[in-house]
Chain A
Amino acid sequence: MIKTIKIACLLTGILTLCVDATAQQSNSVEHEQHKTQNDKHHDHSGHSMSQESGAASDHLHEHNEDHSAVDKTHEHAIDHSQHSDESTEHGDLHHHHHMDHDHIMDHEGTMIMGQNIDKLPSSCKSISEEKEITVRAGRKYAAKFPGTMFAFDQQEWRVKPCSKVTFHFINEDQVRHQFMMHGLPKYLYKYGMFHLEVTGPKTVSGTIIVPGSDDTFLVHCDISHHMEKGMKAQLVVGKGGENIPSIPGLTPYNINDIYEAENLPKVSDKAEQSAVVRQITTALTKSDTQNYLMILIGALVGLLSIPLIKKMMPSKKTEN
């Protein structure tokens, strides 16, 4: 570090001398204005994961009267008819269901959290429309997005403000997946979350009432690296808000990997008649060789331009 400073000092010093000298030579003293462009624009927009929190206060007391309603949904929510008879032998089926106001879970871990079937957001006077959305999840939906491993069948759903939306979440894999939504008003949704979770192949359904203002909500699977590897989408309410980053096929990644061409075997390699030609071409495609080649070309250009420079020098002399 210190050395760099020293060198920089010296360089600048030398340069100043040169400038001084030339300034004395030239007759006209001219002023130059430098513009330093400091507008390195850091775009933080991508990081904001819709942290809107609706009203500031949490009205947690509101849902005491809703037991009956929740119980009813509980009956509907978990569809036992779809039990896969996969070789998982359960012996006896202890159906122990967990229930508090916003957390319903069955014996297989199928879960509905933060469901809201009747509480209107403060920004809504009435429910604008009732909508049902089927969401499929699984590895096969990642096939159309190279570089991902899990995905939802769609990456964006659009609903009207104040609409009541029922999501039918169909997990087509044999592992857990989640349909987890963030950024909902916290006075209606604990932690601002609505969360469906199910081990496939199986379906779980849950309902929410979306807020009355235009906004975009993150939807993802929070199992380690499922979102990072493609299981990410957004729910657009009305005209929507800011896009969520790194949704496959929809929005760019904030941070991209670096890709380089691989020297993979090709059928055409085999087809080539001459082994010598093949050797040369492979040698040429190697990045090292390419680098050296470029240096060589540069050197040649330099050599060729020597006469030109030579011719320039005497011309200067003659003029002087």
Chain B
Amino acid sequence: MPNPILIVILIFYLAFTAVVAQASLLLPKTIKVDRAALTSEPPCDPKISPAWREAQVIDGVKIEASPGCNPDNPAWIAAAVKGTNNISMDTLMKTGLSPDTIIKTDDLDGDGDPDRIIIKLEVMELNGKSPDFPGILPTFDIAPGVQPGAWVFAPKTSGMSTENFESVRANPLLRLPAPVIRVEQGDIVQIILENTHYFPHSIHLHGVDHPFAHKEHGGNDGVPQTSEIELMPGERRIYEFQARQPGTMFYHCHVQTHTHLSMGLAGMIIVEENRPNNWLQTLNIGGGHVRHPSVAIREKFDQEYDLHYHAMDKELGDIIKKYNDPRLIARDMNQRYDITDSTEDYYTINGLSFPYSLRESLIIVKPDQKIKLRLLNSGGETIAIHTHGHHATITHYDGVEHNPVAQIMRDVFDIAPAQRLDLTLDTTNDGKHSYGEGDWLIHDHREKGITTNGMAEGGSMSSIVYTSYLGEDGLPKTSHFGIDLSNYFTQEFWQRRVPIWQDLDEVASLGSPAGQAINIDITTQNYLLNALYGLAAGLLIYFIFAKREYFKQCAMAAISRVRSDKGSKQS
């Protein structure tokens, strides 16, 4: 008596094997990923107004043009230059800063600029777990869809941590890296850390001339093993200094430094030379182009850029995406995470990786310019920054000027962890300083530095681009070479789901081969599988039911055996 179910199954199986057998005669064909299937983003963030690129004056503050795709909010620059206590309420409202974020007062030396500076920083989490929905917030992408768990020092903000109540995207002030701080030689500076985070933190002013302990505020070096106890959540601490020496320096959290620094609690701090009427851009939020350079810089240079290189370990950042309970995060970070077994996965310049680095961290130049570049490496390994098309001159190491006679030119700059380099980039086309105009890459030449979690081209790659090679939208003009960067602006690229060479020719000769089977999508496969499991389970139950008499007999026999055993033993 043939079972109809058996027949169906057999037919299905035979058909299946037949297809597989036939497919093996010819290699699988190429499947081209349809552009429309990708989650694409526009190359420039549409939320940022192109009007921000223009040279402008806000509240009397002169702001240089910044023709890149996504320049800094000019209101931020005005607030940073005048102080949030001195700008108009209208401008303040455009910044999102708290009215007491940057307080500038007292021209102590009578040279026309304020000398008492108060900067308030908070500690903010990005891409952390929520107990309410299966996602993370507030989100910050270093590349499309790439959201490492991170902590940052953020300028004290006002209002929400996200763009609005409907969005989980972070308020633009909450971002990597920690803001670049600029103060003047001789200023009395207070950095007030308001610990809004759920872990203890501190600030260590690496390289900045600061007293080990302050007579009023106590320990001032930020180190929980030497100068002070950890600053607990909800507490505030004042770090005060009056720097006698200028230079490019570094500030970072010194609590559990091996994790807190990598998590993002690190930023540049620059002491500028004292000049009359020197109103500095106290915060350069997001780093990059300095649109209101100091007097001393304007004396010698045409432009100035802050370039903060950082590296993050995915496994470390994942801890805050895995747990919500601070005790579990503390356990995993402090007792389970082993930095000696770790590898860095994300390489960023000014908090972003390629292609987002093109939005914010292009070095946009013209011929015959002198450009000041300040580089910081806050990653865990030495990096090797290569400037295509240029040899730049190293003028300062760790904020201290190198003997001018002995200064050298290089095209690869090795920067140890925590080290700062000041470079002079000269765009004179003499075959040595510059080879001429172009869209010249600037990147870490350790090859992993141009990857994002191992996916190339990503990482801290950016460009030195001449204005003749800059498009209307503020991105380098590449289309005339037939170059299309749009794949990089998709989430699927960074999920490793786009065969990156599929579009290099018409036939997609290096595209993705089809799987060696019936081409059914995953949901259908799941449906079929579930149906099969269901069938199997049903048959099993039927089998047991049909043979229940036999099972009953077995059980009876076993019981009688045991009984008779006992009986025989007793007798």
A→B interface (CB under 8 Å): 1-2, 4-6, 8-13, 15-20, 22-26, 30, 32, 34, 36, 46-47, 86-92, 94, 96-98, 105-109, 111, 138-139, 146-150, 173-176, 180, 182, 191, 193, 195, 197, 199, 222-226, 228-229, 245-246, 253-257, 259, 262, 308, 311-312, 315-316, 319
* A8 contacts across to B, CB distance below 8 A: 529, 532-533, 536
A224 touches B99 (CB 8 A): no
Least CB distance from A148 to B in Å reads: 8
Pick the residue among A17, A86, A139, A316 that contacts B554 (CB under 8 A): A316
B131 touches A246 (CB 8 A): yes
B546 touches A229 (CB 8 A): no
Bound-state Cα–Cα, A316 to B556, Å: 10
B447 adjacent to chain A (CB < 8 Å): no
B13 touches A10 (CB 8 A): yes
Bound-state Cα–Cα, A92 to B558, Å: 96
CB within 8 Å for A98 and B92 given contacts A12-B536, A13-B6, A312-B558? yes
* A174 contacts across to B, CB distance below 8 A: 194, 234-236
B234 touches A139 (CB 8 A): yes
Does more than half of chain A's interface fall in helix, strand or loop, or is it mixed? loop
Least CB distance from B129 to A in Å reads: 7
Query: 1/0 per position for B320-361, CB-CB distance to A under 8 A?
Result: 000111111001000000000000000000000000000000
* A148 contacts across to B, CB distance below 8 A: 326
Q: How many residues of B contact A (CB 8 A)?
A: 97
CB within 8 Å for A16 and B103 given contacts A2-B517, A225-B197? no
B243 adjacent to chain A (CB < 8 Å): no
Output the nearest chain A residue to B325 by Cβ-Cβ distance. Answer: A147
Bound-state Cα–Cα, A148 to B535, Å: 48
A12 touches B535 (CB 8 A): yes
Least CB distance from B511 to A in Å reads: 20
Output the nearest chain B residue to A226 by Cβ-Cβ distance. Answer: B196
Bound-state Cα–Cα, A199 to B130, Å: 24
B105 touches A109 (CB 8 A): no
Pick the residue among A5, A88, A92 that contacts B529 (CB under 8 A): A5
Given contacts A32-B538, A91-B106, 8 further A-B contacts (CB under 8 A): A15-B536, A87-B217, A87-B238, A174-B235, A182-B165, A191-B164, A228-B131, A255-B133
The 4 A-B residue pairs whose C-beta atoms are closest, nearest first, are A91-B105, A173-B234, A109-B98, A315-B557
Bound-state Cα–Cα, A139 to B547, Å: 66
* A146 contacts across to B, CB distance below 8 A: 327
B541 touches A111 (CB 8 A): no
Segment of B120-128, B177-185, B250-258 in the binding face? B120-128
Bound-state Cα–Cα, A315 to B174, Å: 77
Output the nearest chain B residue to A180 by Cβ-Cβ distance. Answer: B160
B547 touches A26 (CB 8 A): yes
Does more than half of chain B's interface fall in helix, strand or loop, or is it mixed? mixed
* B162 contacts across to A, CB distance below 8 A: 222
Bound-state Cα–Cα, A311 to B555, Å: 11
Bound-state Cα–Cα, A193 to B159, Å: 12
A193 touches B529 (CB 8 A): no
Bound-state Cα–Cα, A105 to B216, Å: 30
Output the nearest chain A residue to B124 by Cβ-Cβ distance. Answer: A224
B118 adjacent to chain A (CB < 8 Å): yes
A106 touches B326 (CB 8 A): no
Bound-state Cα–Cα, A180 to B158, Å: 13
Pick the residue among B6, B131, B536 that contacts A11 (CB under 8 A): B536
Least CB distance from A223 to B in Å reads: 5
Bound-state Cα–Cα, A105 to B92, Å: 11
* B369 contacts across to A, CB distance below 8 A: none
B→A interface (CB under 8 Å): 1-3, 5-6, 9-10, 12-13, 16, 85-86, 89, 92-93, 98-100, 103, 105-106, 116, 118, 122, 124-126, 128-134, 138, 156, 158-162, 164-165, 170, 174, 190, 192, 194-198, 216-217, 232-236, 238, 323-328, 331, 515-517, 522, 525, 528-529, 532-536, 538-543, 545-547, 549, 553-554, 557-558, 560-562, 565
B99 touches A105 (CB 8 A): yes
A176 touches B543 (CB 8 A): no
* A246 contacts across to B, CB distance below 8 A: 131-132
Pick the residue among B85, B118, B130, B525 that contacts A107 (CB under 8 A): B85
* B5 contacts across to A, CB distance below 8 A: 16
B192 touches A88 (CB 8 A): yes
* A229 contacts across to B, CB distance below 8 A: 198, 324, 326
CB within 8 Å for A19 and B236 given contacts A109-B99, A175-B194, A225-B128? no
Pick the residue among B85, B217, B515 that contacts A94 (CB under 8 A): B85
* B124 contacts across to A, CB distance below 8 A: 223-224
Pick the residue among B216, B325, B528 that contacts A87 (CB under 8 A): B216
CB within 8 Å for A16 and B6 given contacts A94-B85, A108-B99, A255-B130? yes
Bound-state Cα–Cα, A48 to B351, Å: 34
A149 touches B198 (CB 8 A): yes
Least CB distance from B202 to A in Å reads: 15
B516 touches A16 (CB 8 A): no
CB within 8 Å for A22 and B546 given contacts A88-B192, A246-B132? yes
CB within 8 Å for A312 and B131 given contacts A20-B6, A98-B89? no
Output the nearest chain B residue to A15 by Cβ-Cβ distance. Answer: B539
* B235 contacts across to A, CB distance below 8 A: 173-175
* A86 contacts across to B, CB distance below 8 A: 236
A312 touches B557 (CB 8 A): yes
Bound-state Cα–Cα, A119 to B419, Å: 60
B536 touches A255 (CB 8 A): no
B554 touches A312 (CB 8 A): yes
CB within 8 Å for A197 and B158 given contacts A174-B194, A225-B197? yes
Bound-state Cα–Cα, A92 to B233, Å: 29
B536 touches A228 (CB 8 A): no
Least CB distance from A152 to B in Å reads: 13
Least CB distance from A281 to B in Å reads: 22
Bound-state Cα–Cα, A91 to B164, Å: 34
Q: List 6 A-B contacts (CB under 8 A).
A: A34-B541, A89-B118, A97-B89, A138-B234, A176-B156, A195-B159
Bound-state Cα–Cα, A175 to B538, Å: 62
